[in-house]
Amino acid sequence: MANDQEMSGWTELLHSSTKLLEHAGPSSHFPPLQRNLDQLESLSKKLKSKTLRAEAPSQSISATRQ
């Protein structure tokens, strides 16, 4: 379980995000995006897989130099 300090950090982050959204007006340059948790999970896994593929060659090269 999370301790009080961790929960305080999350609560503060939520509060500051909410304030930011309140002050930000709609923008024609950046339309608002809404995602549900399933979509966020899917997109984060897709991004992670791209990152892992990009990092793999450099890790194997550095491993051969040691």
Show Cβ contacts of residue 26 under 8 Å, excluding neighbours closer than 6 positions.
32
Give the pLDDT means over successive 10-residue stretches in the chain (66 positions).
76 88 70 86 91 63 60
Looking at residue 44, its pLDDT comes to 93
Looking at residue 46, its pLDDT comes to 92
**Cα gap 5→20, rounded to integer Å:** 22
Looking at residue 64, its pLDDT comes to 62
The encoded tokens of residue 2 equal 């999370």
Q: Is the pTM of this model over 0.75?
A: no
- 3-state class (DSSP) for residue 36: coil
Task: Report phi then psi at 29, rounded to 5.
Answer: -75, -35
Looking at residue 56, its pLDDT comes to 56
- 3-state class (DSSP) for residue 2: coil
